[in-house]
């Protein structure tokens, strides 16, 4: 029996990267998966197939999380299939990958980053949180970033958006209590394909981050699975509104 045996876990942006890794990890712990995607349909099907290969149930559902109608559709489909959602992982996000420097600010990129990371996260928390309250409760984990501590001279809007996620976490932790817990996992640089493709990562940023990280390594997606599952599980049952930093010591903060 796994920690999430027969629980229903929804992961946004699970067609690739960290979301796909998380889906497999939850399935190995006994969960059934709602695999959300926006444009990565092939990846979402591959993720769902991997979950089914582990003997668990999986469904895929498409939606733009910046649209409340789409978010309602995603929730409707999940509840139609499984009757409930026990855990929501807000993994989908935008970090302005094409932007090399703060000097290259583009209004369309700015609007998209804020829309996905703030509006999209808020709509998912709001819609799924309300439905969880009407049923047996649940746990929501937002995938945040240590950028809220260090800032981002490359893409300031990304840091601002992730800081907003902390505000959403605290606000909904109070609004949805006591039936639904809401926490944020503050990840370091996770070496996904998306990060590897960034210009700055290919031109010295990786070496700089590695030099400044006390644990002397760049996090792989698997390194962030444990902290995320901890916040989603009953092991963190007395935590809500929290920001759990997992960054290899890259940026250390006081209590």
Residues belonging to the active site: 158
Q: Are strands 58-62 and 138-145 parallel, antiparallel or unpaired?
A: unpaired
The Cα–Cα gap between 112 and 110 comes to 6
Residue 117 CA: distances (Å) to CA of 49, 77, 169, 230: 28, 23, 13, 22
Residue 99 CA: distances (Å) to CA of 40, 95, 139, 154, 162: 22, 9, 33, 7, 17
């Amino acid at each position: 029996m796994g920690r999430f045996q027969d629980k229903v876990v929804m992961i946004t942006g699970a067609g690739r990267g960290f979301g796909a890794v998380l889906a497999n990890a939850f399935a190995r712990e006994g969960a059934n998966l709602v695999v959300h995607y926006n444009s990565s349909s092939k990846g979402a099907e591959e993720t769902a197939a991997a979950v089914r290969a582990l003997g668990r149930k999986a469904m895929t559902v498409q939606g733009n999380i910046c649209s409340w109608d789409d978010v309602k559709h995603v929730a409707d489909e999940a509840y139609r299939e499984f009757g409930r959602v026990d855990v929501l992982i807000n993994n989908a996000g935008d970090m302005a990958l094409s932007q090399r420097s703060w000097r290259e600010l583009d209004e369309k990129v700015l609007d998209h980053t804020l829309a996905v990371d703030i509006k999209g996260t808020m709509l998912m928390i709001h819609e799924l949180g309300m439905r969880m309250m009407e049923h047996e409760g649940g746990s929501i984990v937002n995938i945040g970033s240590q950028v809220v501590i260090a800032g981002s001279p490359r893409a300031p809007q990304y840091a601002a958006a992730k800081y907003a996620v902390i505000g959403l976490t605290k606000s909904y932790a109070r609004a949805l209590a006591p039936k639904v817990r809401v926490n944020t996992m503050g990840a370091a640089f996770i070496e996904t394909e998306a990060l590897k493709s960034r210009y700055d990562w290919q031109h010295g940023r990786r070496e700089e981050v590695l030099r400044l990280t006390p644990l002397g390594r760049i996090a792989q997606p698997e390194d962030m699975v444990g902290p995320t599952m901890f916040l989603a599980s009953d092991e963190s049952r007395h935590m809500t509104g929290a920001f759990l930093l997992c960054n290899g010591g890259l940026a250390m903060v006081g209590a």
